């Protein structure tokens, strides 16, 4: 993954032989921090699993561009004040969601890959050019 806001990249194995690698998950947690205020919150490994599975279906070596991982309550409130598309109790605030894009694939392609995983929520934000993935209940939205 690449985080353009922080100018950081991450590429690692976080799971091997049925076990998560704790130091790798810690690195992912820091990488997916709230870039607006550097607040860090544990990222749910299920979210990483969904991101990884969907990426595998996209048949590309291009990394995701991370737009939003963890969001502090302050950041979420600020974004809600600017957009009706931000949930009051966003799973981003629980470390259970990510907003991503892949420039070599359309929003529709990324959305369909995530939906095919049949795990968590998948939102299509075509006008803003990103897909939301989370480890909450299975559901889809957006256009």
If the chain, 143 residues long, is cut into consecutive pieces of 10 residues, what is the mean pLDDT of each piece? 93 95 97 96 97 96 96 95 87 97 97 97 95 97 87
The pLDDT assigned to 20 comes to: 97
The pLDDT assigned to 108 comes to: 97
128: left (phi over 0), alpha (psi -120 to 50) or beta: alpha
- What is the C-alpha to C-alpha distance for residues 39 and 109, in angstroms, rounded to an integer? 31
Phi, psi of 84 (to 5 degrees): -75, -10
The pLDDT assigned to 84 comes to: 78
Say if residues 123 and 100 touch (Cβ distance below 8 Å): no
- What is the C-alpha to C-alpha distance for residues 99 and 92, in angstroms, rounded to an integer? 9
Phi, psi of 19 (to 5 degrees): -130, 140
Say if residues 113 and 57 touch (Cβ distance below 8 Å): yes
The pLDDT assigned to 4 comes to: 86
The pLDDT assigned to 115 comes to: 97
The pLDDT assigned to 143 comes to: 73
Single pTM value for the model? 0.94
What fold, for 2-142?
Muramoyl-pentapeptide Carboxypeptidase; domain 2 (3.30.1380)
């Amino acid at each position: 993954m690449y985080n353009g806001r922080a100018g950081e990249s991450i590429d690692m194995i976080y799971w091997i032989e049925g076990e998560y690698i704790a130091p790798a998950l810690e690195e992912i947690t820091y990488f997916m921090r709230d870039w607006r205020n550097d607040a860090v919150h544990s990222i749910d490994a299920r979210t990483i699993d969904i991101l990884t599975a969907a990426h595998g279906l996209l048949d590309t070596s291009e990394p995701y561009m991370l737009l939003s991982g963890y969001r502090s309550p302050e950041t979420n409130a600020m974004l809600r004040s600017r957009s009706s598309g931000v949930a009051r109790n966003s799973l981003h605030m629980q470390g259970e969601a990510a907003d991503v894009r892949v420039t070599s694939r359309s929003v529709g392609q990324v959305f369909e890959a995530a939906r095919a995983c049949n795990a968590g929520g998948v939102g299509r934000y075509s006008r803003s050019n990103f897909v939301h993935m989370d480890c909450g209940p299975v559901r889809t939205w957006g256009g």
